[in-house]
């Protein structure tokens, strides 16, 4: 998406560059009209570093009609952990933050903590292309988390 | 590639085959001033970095797939260096 936006932005910029030096002078009244079109675009890219996170399974999704690649696995509703959850806070049954749907082949149950991968790598374990955006890579047995101070 | 700090380790017996035998750590991403930024993430650690050591993470999956020698691996984050000194990171 950002690439597309950047493409359209550069297109518009070139358009504005063509429009910018437009000058119309009429010989009768000797007035010069100068049009300067300035288009400013600000693209703010937020800090979105999300690959390989930990989360808690808070639900399941069942499908009757589905992509053939989904056969054999399950779809879990996973709430990604914030720093509070790493420090030991429990995930509430209805968390406030947005959850993700994770494809799981390992058999994670409700309430288990899992490590999941997001992005293009989530589709790597499948033969060929797969419309999978998050993949359960491991079920956490033990986590030793000791931040400094 | 991002700067991060090792904040813990992870034990998982049920995992993708490519993850078996690799050391998995919990990393806290840091900003330019060395402050914590966002929630911790997981990473594969081939270097054996110690607790609270600062490291450089690569978030590119192809390097990780090469390291675990599995083209079907879903793993992404790989520790590619242990930081000796980062002058902008106040400690």
**Buried-state track B64-82, b at ≥16 Cβ within 10 A, e below 16:** bbebbebeebbbbbbbbee
Is residue A33 within 8 A of residue A25, CB to CB? The reply is yes
Residue B72 to residue A52, Cβ atoms within 8 A: no
Q: Is the CB of A142 inside 8 Å of chain B's CB atoms?
A: yes
Alpha carbons A101 and A77: distance in angstroms, whole number: 5
pLDDT tens digits, B35-63: 898 899 999 999 999 999 999 999 988 99
Nearest to A124 among B52, B59, B61 (CB): B61
Give A-chain residues touching B51 at CB under 8 angstroms. Answer: 146
Question: How confident is the model over B56-77, as a mean pLDDT?
Answer: 92
**Please, what's the largest Cα pairwise distance for chain A?**
87
Closest approach of A62 to chain B, Cα-based (Å):
23
pTM for the complete prediction? Answer: 0.75
Using pLDDT thresholds of 50, 70 and 90, give the confidence band for residue A43: low
pLDDT tens digits, A50-65: 789 999 999 999 998 9
> How far is CA A96 from its chain centroid?
18
pLDDT tens digits, A59-89: 999 998 988 888 889 999 999 999 889 988 8
Give B-chain residues touching A138 at CB under 8 angstroms. Answer: 10, 12, 14-16, 19, 24
pLDDT at A147 over 80: yes
Nearest to A125 among B13, B28, B72 (CB): B72
Residue B61 to residue A144, Cβ atoms within 8 A: no
């Amino acid at each position: 998406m950002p690439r597309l936006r950047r493409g359209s932005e550069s297109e518009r910029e070139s358009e504005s560059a063509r429009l910018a030096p437009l000058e119309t002078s009429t010989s009768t009244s000797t007035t010069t009209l100068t049009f300067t079109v300035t288009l400013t675009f600000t693209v703010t890219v937020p800090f979105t570093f999300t690959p390989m996170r930990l989360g808690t399974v808070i639900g399941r999704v069942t499908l009757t009609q589905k992509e053939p690649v989904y056969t054999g696995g399950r779809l879990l509703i996973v709430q990604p952990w914030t720093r509070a959850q790493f420090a030991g806070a429990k995930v509430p049954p209805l968390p406030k933050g947005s959850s993700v749907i994770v494809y799981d082949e390992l058999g994670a149950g409700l309430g288990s903590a899992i490590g999941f991968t997001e992005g293009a790598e989530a589709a790597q374990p499948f033969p060929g292309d797969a419309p999978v955006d998050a993949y359960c890579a491991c079920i956490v047995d033990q986590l030793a988390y000791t931040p400094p101070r | 590639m991002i700067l991060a700090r090792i904040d813990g380790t992870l034990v998982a017996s049920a995992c993708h085959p490519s993850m078996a035998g690799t050391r998995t750590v919990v990393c806290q991403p840091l900003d330019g001033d060395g402050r914590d930024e966002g929630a911790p993430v997981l990473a594969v650690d081939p270097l054996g970095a110690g607790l609270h050591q600062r490291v450089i993470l690569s978030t590119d999956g192809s390097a990780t797939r090469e390291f675990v020698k599995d083209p079907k691996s879903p793993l992404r984050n790989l520790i590619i260096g242990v930081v000796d000194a980062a002058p902008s990171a106040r400690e």
